[in-house]
Structure formats: structure tokens, C-alpha cells
Structure 1
Amino acid sequence: MAQSEFHYDVLREKLKDGIPCPDDFSFPSHVLSHWAQKQPAQPALHWVSHDFKDERILSYKDLDELTHRAAKVFQDVGIKKGDRVLIQLPRIVEWWPALYGLMRIGAIPCPGTSLLVAKDLKFRAETSKAVAFIGDAESCARFEEVSKEVGISLIYQARTPGDGGLGKGRKDFQAAIEKVPRDTKCEASHKKTDLALIFFTSGTTGAPKMVLLEAEHLLGHTITGYWYQAKPGTVVLCMADLGWAKASYGSMGTFNMGATYYVQPPPPGAFTPNQLIDALNRYPIATLCAPPTIYRSLVTTSAKAYLKAHPPKALRHCVGAGEPLNASVIKEWRDMTGVQIKDGWGQSETVIGVGNFEGIAVREGSMGKPAPYFEIGIIDHEGRELGDGEEGELAIRTDKGAGDVWIFKGYVKNGKIDPRRKTHSGKTWYCSGDRAMRDTDGYYWFVGRDDDVITSSGYRIGPFEVESALKLHPAVAESAAVGSPDLSRGEIVKAFVILSEEFRDKIDGNKDAEEKLVADIQSHFKKVTAPYKAPRAIEFVKELPKTVSGKIRRVELRELEHKRKADVLKQQRAKL
């Protein structure tokens, strides 16, 4: 039987020399306009309200027209090529005309998640030197707390139902677009090396950093589209806030392939697994991309029952993003749906660099193999390549292949660009800050962020492997493992654990029951993996600190442990 267009071997051959990129490439002009001409009626965006009562579908022709009209709006108020503009919008259609309208005139959008508060917006405005802000009523109000401090008075509000109307001094985004004729064309001159988009990193181990992305990088998200197995007629759902790079890249990966991107805001308050299950049941969503937190919520007892009563209508492909997914969750989801979750690795700085593509036999817990056109390695602190089975830093070769065109230009640090590159033996690598290892069959396995690795009694222990083993106990819904200071061992492994719903009531306020459960979890842990990795301390918590993109901030828990242990260690040292 012939291999499909998404098969790993087919893609490696097809993309062995990359993807031709015109010198004047810009995403809206070469991708959106291309599909608007080739398949004008094909849906590009399918938006559905949180309660399923309203929906809005934009064809490629509709979206292409809206981005030209938005570009004209921005141009007429003096926004020009090279200007940076902050965008903080919830999951509404207007996000895409705003983003791509700015790109059409060479301005640079700087998206931020809707969870950012005023001080976060101030940091981003000052760091990026933004000239304008685009938000909804809620985010505009937050930004106005700091707008005078950062010297920005140009504020566009995208109206949403029940938002109380247009705020004083703000410009009405939709009304401004409506005044522009539908046949308007507004386009600046472009180069593929122009700065096209700025994201800020999640800040898992420190302050967010500004990520500089050039236009040709966005074409690289065709790789994401292949990973999604997307093509015209395919509906893709990416469960990510629009300010998270994954959502932007997810829609670009979808649009690069001429497919349809499904968008739905969460219910008021917070995400519920039942809403996602309803969406999969009602609409022909073929591909689901979600972070581990979402998949973990889908395999709880109550979600399993709801999914059984409301099975997916068309789901055939699932991928995981954000952080590696526990093997146990992958197995449970496959048992529930018959669909295998294909994990992958990428960052705000990159496209999908490692993944479980079609044709790769999935090894649960592995990130997969290098994406087509990528050369991936494991390196030490000097940039020297390490062998199979050796733990080091996951790196992308940048002097050839995808690393030369499809990863970021660099971070901005003190007004200078830091590309995070190391050169050794004639090879130059992008240093990802993620620790991993490669097995003898070429599969890559995530260990943890460089600063998250725990060193206990001389052993180096990755938090992810601890958390994956903990997840195999039925009491553990989610966990975070960190190093807790210890005088004799340097550090011990400590786990902060959120209990599954069926165990919460069993130990509520009962100290004896809590101690017995801790002992049972530790005993179970030692049966499923090496005992030296076992958490010597377990603390039950209601929630874990996370970045705005949903990644666990182990740095906060590590700092908490250091503060807690400071006095104890001081007293112990005094007795020596």
C-alpha cells in the first residue's frame, strides 16, 4: 500500500532541501492570499461560542479581505513597518485580522495571553517598545492602568457581547474595519528576513524573554501542519490561549495546509473537559492538539463517563504540546478513543523540531524523532555532541537545514540580540535549555528544563520521569517534582501532588489517612521505576503554579522549598 503524504519517510524525502521561500515572503500575502485564490469558499476559521449558541465561519476569501482592510486601518493611523503592537484578545475572530493586518504593512504583532495582568503588559510594552495596543474591553482596561507610564495612547478595542460598550478614548476595531471598502488592497514591501512576529517565552525558569521571529520562520510551520496531518477539508482544534505561541503556530500550521481552524472560548470561569468533549461530538474535528493538562483532565473518572455518552464525531489524530505527556495518560486516552496521542517537541523559538509523525512507531513517553529537514543533537555545556544514552541539552543544528531558517533570530537582552548558539568541531547549535537523551533507535526522551534537573546523592534526576511514575498511582491527578535542599544528600526529590477526585475526600483533614497515602504512593513508585528517583517528601496541594501557557513553574516550588529549608539547614550546619 502506498505511503500517505504525511508519512515520515515521504516527508523526509520531500523536505530534504526544505521549502522554497520567496525573497519577498510574508505570511498573509503568500499563504492567506494564495488559498483565497485557490479555494476562496473553503472555511479558514470556524468560531463557536462557549455555549454553542453562536458560530461564525470565515472562508479564506473572507479572512484575506479582512486582513487587507485591517492593514489599511493601521496604516491610516500612522502605524508603519517595524512598529511593534501588543495584542491581548480572548478567543475571538478579530485576533486574526489584527495579527495579519499588522503583518501586511510590515508592523510586528506582539501577542499576549488573556491572563496577563497590568504589570505583565507594562513589562512587554517597555521591552518591545510598542506603539499601540489591541484588546477587548477587559484587557484594554488592564492596559490603561499602565498606558500613560509606557506612553501609549493608541488603543483599539475589539467589541464582544455584553462588554458594556466602547471605552473612553479607545478606537472601535470592528467599526474601523467596516469603513474600509471590501476590495481594498493594502500591502507593504517585504523581505523573508524581515522581523514578522514577537512572542515572549513562558518564563518557566525566569523572567519572560522576547523571541524575535522572521517571516520565513512562519513558513516553517508547514512542518506543524504535516504533524497535524492537515489538508483542505480537515478541521483542526488547538487547545491554547491565543497569546500562547502554540495557538498562533497552530493556526499558521493549519493555514499553511489550507485546512480549517476551529476556535472556541472556554466557559466563564475556567476550562471544563465536558465542553471539549461536546465540541468533538458536535463538529467534524479531525485533529486535536492539546497540552498535557487538558489530556489529563480528559482521563478522569467523570470525563470518561461523559466521553462514553458523547463520543467524538470525526476525531482521528491527536497530538500533545507544551510539555511531554505521561505514558499512562497516552494509554488511557487510546483505550478510551482508539486514537493514539502523538507527542512532539517545539518551543516559542522553533517550529516542531521533534515529533511522532505518521510512520514512526510510537514509544509512549518519547517525543519521537527529528522532524524532516532538522538535524537534532544532544550536546554538553561546551557544544560537544554526546552519544546515545547520554543526557545533555537538546540542540538544533543551525549552520544547515531547518535550524538555518525555521528557528528564531534570538532573544533581546540589554538591547542586544542573544542567539543562544554554541559552535564545536565546525557545527553550530541552538541551545534549547531542555535536557533530553536519545536512545539507540533514534528516539528522543525529555528529562526537564536545564534548571529543573534534581541532583540527589550524586544522581541526576529529571522531574518529568518522577512525575510520570507518580501518575501511575490512581491517587495522583497531577504533580510537580523539585529538588528540596538536604544537608546529607544535597537535594532530595520532593513532589507536590494534586489528588484525583476519588481520593480527595478520603484524606480531607485526616492526618493518618494522608500519611498512609503518602507511604502507599512511595511504595507504588518504587515498583514502577528506580527507587533512587522516589520522592522522599510528598505534599498534597490544590493547585500548581503555572505559566500563562499552562507549563508548570517548578522554579516557584523550588524557591519555596529553599525558603522553607533555610533555617533548618542553618541549624543543622551549626551542630556539625
Structure 2
Amino acid sequence: MKLFKLQTLKSFWTLKPPNRTFHCHPRLLASDVYSQYEPVRQGKQEIPKYFNFASDVLDKWSEIEKAGKRPSNPAFWWINGEGEEVKWSFEELGFLSRKVANALTKVCGLQKGDRIVVILPRVPEWWLVTVACMRAGIVLLPGISQLSAKDILYRLQASKATCIITDNTLTSAVDSVASECQFLKTKLIVSKGSREGWLNFTDLYRNQSADHSCVKTRIQDSMIIFFTSGTTGSPKMAEHSQGSLGFRPLLSERYWLDLTPSDVIWSTADTGWIVASLASVFDPWVFGSCIFVHKLPRVESAAVLNTLCRFPIDTVVSAPTLFRMLVQNDLSSYKFMNLKRCVSGGEPLNPEVMEQWKSKTGLDIHEVYGQTEMGIICSVFKGMKVKPGSMGKAAPLYDVQIVDKNANVLPPGQQGEIAVRSRPIKPLGFFSGYVDNPKKTAETERGDFYVTGDRGIMDEDGYFQFIGRDDDIIISSGYRIGPFEVENALIEHAAVAETAVVSSPDPLRGEVVKAFVVLSPTFSSSDLESLTCDLQEHVKKTTAPYKYPRKVEFVRELPKTVTGKIKRNELRKKEWGRI
């Protein structure tokens, strides 16, 4: 990796933080940023009108570093598994992100409120862009690296984004649809080379000044928009504000992450999902902790285990699929350097996996439950009793209940819909709404509650258990997949007359996509095995690769209502052995 010499820093990328004297207990250090909001947490002061995470949190930690009151832990630590390594202090993160903010505003012409689509894998540039957007008031729209050209087209058109940043794996896909995106003005590539029609990201900001004044943002100003997985239509745009993502952890105590400036946290989440923002940006940096990142092109057991052994990682956050993979290994030869806390979220974790992990490592797995619209809703706090099969208790700020179809609160032990009280006062942490879709936003409200679409049960101790989705969303390896997109892709194939997509149980991924297919009368081939592979490849090319049906069953007809609507629920129940 090329290094650029600077007068004020040792290098442009691999920056060793200076040796500093650690003057107080690490637990107390968080109060340097965190304690100033104690009056707000106690209700003695109102939530501030203006807030910006970059200036009010990250820059404050930079000042603490310069004063020698933070341990010599990097704020950001990245590896790629091939010998390359990046370390930034908060001071260095600020320096570089200001240069990027200047590049986006002065060269690309982006202004406060403009939207930028960022589709990057786990590379340092994603964090630089994220922080730079905060500084400039630019609204970030992250996307996962497996998006297809069709996915990208929809996101650019729906968001009216004026800029896109990606790497060389997706530039061709972007170019194939760019002419249909009237608002798109600038394309930035994160690459060592160049491409016609694209600006090189590193070249663009490398020579920019680091003198940048953070814009003044209201706490309700838009900051990040995430795309959800739809059940019967295109993905919705869930908008989060400076307050719902950036200020929320300042009010939420140490609920699902109990961190200090000396701690190192590693989340394996894809950069396109909200958990990456929660576990790899906002919540750890509120406490001045070190965010560890492994590029991990593919999540493999050996790479994960070796990383946990080689690096001083205190907390790991991942989807249940990872833990299911890890317990299949002989863990007796692996000695984790620092690991103390394991957090699982995105889908339910099998109790037997929790028990195996505990017996092999001596560590509990703490489950969390959340949504794109709400962040973390429930969690098993540090020190709480772990109940296998339970996702813990309500997170601070949220009044979580089980309600019926009329929004009546149900008693413990009764199954209903998981809901969060949103009236008379909407708690900080809620999304602002679905962009340009007030109808869908209104549909999330029932009585005094926001309804999640998930069914569950609360026990007498206040622990919640996830039962399943009320809709048809498929949650596979932590990825939320709407069946509508998969069905649309399949129906484009000449062999398919009709199709229905549902979830199917899988021992590793929890559940996978299964397609029931009615063949077209004009289709004559009898080689169904070859056709299955052909259909799977077609879906991979038409949608994101992770959405393809891992199981395909050919049927004569699909169950339908009298009005002709496919009974996905009936197929799903049959698939899960419930009828």
C-alpha cells in the first residue's frame, strides 16, 4: 500500500499512534465524552437542538487523545488478511475525513442534504466517507457489495443520489445503468487504477486541505438512509437522523455493548446493513473504543478463528451463521487473546449452538434483536442471565411489549406481535420514516405502538423470544430477503410459468430461500437438475447473488385463495413441517 508522507503525520495510511500516558482507569475515561450528557439522560436537560456525531463525539475524543488522557489504542484498526494493515487514532481519522469532506464538497460539488450512494466492501475508505458525510451534512446511502445492476439502478433512481462511490467490481454495473439516472452527476472509484468517466477517490482527496469546518446539523436532520427488503414490492428507504443513530447511544447507557477506550470490538457485518453502522461506527466510538475490521472477502471459520487468536479483540459481533460455522471446528487448539464478549444478531440463534460454544470456549453468546427502522430493540446485557432461545430484555429508551391485532398489550406467555411504544412521545432511536412513502410509514403504527412485523413471546422476567415473521421476509445468514424480488427474477425465465418463494430450514444458515416453480407448458426439457442450476444462475445475475434459491421444487400448481392470491404462508408452514 502506497504511503504518502505528510508534515504532521508519520504516513498517510499506516499511522502509529504516539505513546501517551494513561492517567486514569479506562472505565472512567468514557466520561470525558459520555458524562457531559448525563443531565440529558436524567431528564434535567432537554435533548440538544443541534448535534453532529463527527464534531460532538469524534473530535472530542481527538482532543482527549492530544491531552494524553486516552490509552494508546487506535480508534480504527483494519487488516485484509494479506499483510496490509491500517491504524488510525481519532486525530488521524479527523485529519483524513476532513480532506474527504473537502473533496466531496469542493470538487464534487455536494452540499448539505445531498445524497450519496456508497457501495464498498470492508475497506478503510468506507469509514472515511461515512465520517466525511457527517462533517459535510451529506446523506449516506450504504449498499452491500453484492448488488446487481438492477439493484443499483433502483437505488440511484429512488434516492435521486447525485454521487456514487464504489470499487472496480461494480463500475461496469454502474456504467450500464448510469444513463437512466438523471440525478447522478459524479462517480468515484476506490481503486489503484483509473477508469473513463470516473474520478479516482484517493487521488481526489489526497491533495485536499484538512482544514474543514463541520456543518451545523439539527438533531433531526437526515444522516443515513438504509434500503430494507420488501415483501410485496421494491425495497423501502428507511431514513435515520443525527439523533436516531448518532445521539441515541449517548442516552442508552451501556446496554448491548459495554465498552471502554481500551476495548477492541470486531463486527463482521456487511457495510450495507445498519448493524455495521451500530457496531462499527456509532456505539463503539461513543465510548472511545477501537473498531477492528477484517476485510474478509469471504467469512470462513479458519480466518475468523485465527484473527481472534492473533489480535486483542475483546468483543465480537456477528450473525448466528458464523457461530454455527465455528462450533463445527475443534476449538481446543485456538486460544483467544482477549475475547470476553460474543454478540449475535440478525436472526435467532439455536440454543444448542450457544451450549456448544459455551462448552468449547467458556464464553456465552449474548443475543440482540433489532430492525433497520429501530436499531437495537432487545438485548442480553452484560451480566444478565443468558436464557437460550431468548433475545434478552427491552433496550433502554424503548418500551417493548407483545400486542394483539388491536394493539392491546398481552400478558406474559401469550404470543403476539413485538411492538415498541411510539406515543405519546416517539423515543429517540426511531427512524424518521420511509422516504417518499408516507403510506408505508403509517402502516408501521398501530394504536400507541410501532409494530415490527415479528411475532414473539415475553416471559414473566421480561425476556423476549422471537417466534417468526408476520410477513414473508426470509432471514438467511443475517441477510433479509424479500421473496418478491426473487419471484420477479424467476418469472423472467422462459421455463417458469408461476412461482412462489418462501423460507426453508437450514442447519447452517438458519433458513434459506426456496422456490416452488410451476413450469411453462411450452417447456419440454426433462433435465430438472440442469434447469435448477440454470434458474439459480439466472437469479444470481438478475438480483444480488445472496438472494438465489438454494432449494427449488417443481410443482404442478401453487395453493391459492379464491381471489387467486398465492398462499405463501401455507407453503412456508409445510416447508417447516407445521402442517
TM-score normalised by the shorter chain: which range applies? Answer: 0.7 to 0.9
1:39 is matched with which residue?
65
Over residues 391-431 of structure 1, what are the superposed CA-to-partner deviations in whole Å (9 max), with x where a residue is unaligned?
A: 11111112367x4221101113557672544353xxx2111
Point out where structure 1 has 5 or more consecutive residues left out of the alignment: 7-11, 454-462, 468-479, 483-492, 501-541, 571-576
| Residue 24 of structure 1: how far off its partner (Å) | 1.3
1:241 aligned onto 2:270: yes
Q: In the alignment, which residue of structure 1 is the partner of 2:432?
A: 409
SS at match of 1:220: helix
For 1:569 and 1:107, the matched residues in 2 are separated by 46
Offset of residue 17 of structure 1: 4.5
User: 1:355 touches 1:369 (CA, 8 Å); kept in 2?
Assistant: yes
Q: 1:18 Cα shift?
A: 10
Cα gap change, 1:13 to 1:60, in 2 (>3 Å): closer
Output the CA distance in 2 between the equivalents of 1:144 and 1:96: 24
Question: Are the counterparts in 1 of residues 238 and 372 from structure 2 also a CA contact under 8 Å?
Answer: yes
CA contact (8 A) 1:16 1:373 kept: no
Question: Which of the numbers 172, 176, 190 marks the counterpart of 1:158?
Answer: 190
CA drift of 1:228 comes to: 2.0
For residue 284 of structure 1, what is the aligned residue in structure 2? 312
Question: Would the alpha carbon gap of residues 225 and 80 (structure 1) be closer, same or farther in structure 2, given more than 3 Å must change?
Answer: farther
* 1:314 and 2:305 are equivalent in the alignment: no
Contact 2:57-2:286 within 8 A present in 1 as well: yes
- In the alignment, structure 1 residue 391 sits paired with structure 2 residue 415: yes
Which residue of structure 2 aligns with residue 440 of structure 1? 460
CA distance in 2, matches of 1:281, 1:120: 38
Label 1:495 to 1:42 Cα distance change in 2 as closer, same or farther (>3 A).
closer
Q: Determine the C-alpha separation between the residues in 2 that align with 1:343 and 1:297.
A: 17
1:213 matches 2:225? no
- In 1, distance between residues paired with 2:412 and 2:44? 27
Distance in 2 separating the partners of 1:311 and 1:81: 48
**CA distance in 2 between partners of 1:290 and 1:200 (Å):** 20
SS in 1 for 2:557: helix
> Does residue 199 of structure 2 align to residue 171 of structure 1?
yes
Mapped contact 1:89–1:134 kept (Cα < 8 A): yes
Q: 1:89 to 1:19 in 2, by over 3 A?
A: farther
Aligned position for 1:129: 160
Give the Cα separation in 2 of the matches to 1:207 and 1:374: 29
Moved more, 382-391 or 56-65: 382-391
Tell me the residue number matched to 1:118. 149
Residues 229-268 of structure 1: matches in 2 within 5 Å? Answer: 229-251=258-280, 252-267=282-297
Q: Distance in 2 between matches of 1:42 and 1:494?
A: 43
Change (3 A) 1:126 1:569: closer
Residue 28 of structure 1 is matched in structure 2 by 54
What is the rounded CA distance, in whole Å, between the counterparts of 2:221 and 2:558 in structure 1?
Answer: 53
Please give the per-residue CA displacement for 1:226-284, whole angstroms capped at 9, x wherever unaligned: 412111010000011111111111121111111001011114xx321110101100000
Give the partner amino acid of 2:396. P
Using the alignment, how far apart are the partners of 1:96 and 1:56 within structure 2? 12
1:144 equivalenced with 2:168 (yes/no): no
Separation in 1, partners of 2:271, 2:135: 19
Inter-partner Cα distance in structure 2 for 1:368 and 1:390: 17
Q: Separation in 1 of the partners of 2:558 and 2:372?
A: 39
Aligned to 2:103: 73
CA distance in 1, matches of 2:546, 2:429: 26
Identity %: 31
Could you tell me how far apart the structure 2 residues matched to 1:210 and 1:39 are?
37
Residues in 2 aligned to 1:224 and 1:70: alpha-carbon distance in whole angstroms: 32
Segments of 5+ residues of structure 2 without an aligned counterpart are: 1-26, 31-37, 67-71, 484-501, 510-535, 562-579
Q: Is the 8 A contact 2:52 2:242 kept in 1?
A: yes
C-alpha contact 1:105 1:187 (8 A) present in aligned 2? yes
Cα separation, partners in 2 of 1:568 and 1:320, compared to 1, 3 Å: closer
Residue among 555, 568, 577 paired with 1:564: 555
SS at match of 2:260: coil
The alpha carbon displacement at 1:78 in A equals 1.5
Output the amino acid matched with 2:265. Answer: V
Take 1:44 and 1:18, find their aligned partners in 2: how far apart are those partners? 31
Residue matched to 2:378: 354
Change (3 A) 1:495 1:175: closer
Q: Return closer, same or farther for 1:257/1:132 CA change in 2, 3 Å cut-off.
A: same
Check conservation: 2:325, 2:508, Cα contact below 8 A.
no
Query: What is the TM-score with the length of structure 1 in the denominator?
Result: 0.74
Aligned CA distance change for structure 1 residues 15 and 65 (closer, same or farther; 3 Å): same
CA contact (8 A) 1:367 1:446 kept: yes
- When residues 415 and 138 of structure 1 are mapped into structure 2, their CA distance, relative to the original with a 3 A threshold, is farther
Give the number of aligned pairs. Answer: 467
From the superposition, tell whether residues 131 and 14 of structure 1 become closer, same or farther in structure 2 (CA, over 3 Å): closer
Deviations 1:346-368, CA, capped at 9 Å, x for gaps = 11111211110023211111011
Residue 271 of structure 1 is aligned with which of 274, 293, 299?
299
TM-score, L = length of structure 2: 0.73
Q: Report if the CA contact (8 A) 2:444-2:451 is conserved.
A: yes
* Inter-partner Cα distance in structure 2 for 1:409 and 1:499: 35
SS of 2:325's equivalent in the other structure is helix
Task: Tell me which amino acid in the other structure corresponds to 2:202.
Answer: Q
